[in-house]
């Protein structure tokens, strides 16, 4: 016999499903467009749009490519240094 789902968990999933349905209705009303276009339409603001890199399978980069790569590299180095620091501290401990 399948395990019964606790009522609290069921309530959470129902609320999440309701939020999703509400959101899909909002998408249907406003139409399919990028977030930037949604903001421009909603606020009536004139926008030149953000710089967008090349796409792959519908995925695209909403940032200037060189800057993105440089910042990712810097963040990766900082993360590695933080990890090495952690390993050294754990080794001492």
Partner 1 sequence: MAHIHLEDGAFSPLWVIIWSLLAAGAMTVVLYTLRGGKMSPRKLAIAAMCTSVGFAVFQVSIPIFGGIHLNLTPLIGILAGPALGSISVLAINVFSAAVGHGGWGMIGPNTLVNMVEVILGYYGYRLIRAKMRMDRFTAGAAAATLALTVSALMIVGIVVVSGLQDSENTAQETLRNMLLLAGVNIAVGVVEGLVTGYIVSFIGRIRPDLLADAERGAAKGNPAAEARPDA
Instruction: Name the residues that contact partner 1, by CB under 8 A.
Output: 8-9, 12-13, 15-16, 19-20, 22-27, 29-39, 41-48, 50-52, 55, 57-64, 67-68, 71-72, 75-76, 78-79, 82-83, 85-86, 89-90
Report, in Å, the least distance between residue 4 CB and partner 1: 14
Which residue, 1 or 23, has its beta carbon nearer to partner 1?
23
Tokens 């590299």 -> residue: 73
Calculated CA dihedral for residues 24, 29, 34, 37, nearest 10 degrees: -150
Distance CA 75, CA 69 (A): 10
Which residue, 1 or 32, has its beta carbon nearer to partner 1?
32
The DSSP string of 8-43 is: HHHHHHHHHHHHHHHHHHHHHHH-S--HHHHHHHHH
Report, in Å, the least distance between residue 23 CB and partner 1: 2
């Amino acid at each position: 016999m399948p395990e019964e789902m606790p009522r609290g968990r069921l309530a959470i999933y129902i609320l999440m499903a309701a939020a999703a349905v509400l959101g899909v209705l909002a998408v249907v009303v406003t139409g399919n467009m990028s977030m930037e276009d949604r903001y421009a339409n909603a606020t009536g603001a004139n926008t030149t749009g953000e710089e967008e890199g090349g796409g792959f399978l519908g995925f695209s980069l909403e940032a200037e490519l060189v800057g993105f790569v440089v910042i990712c590299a810097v963040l990766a180095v900082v993360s590695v240094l933080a990890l090495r620091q952690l390993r050294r501290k754990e080794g001492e401990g």
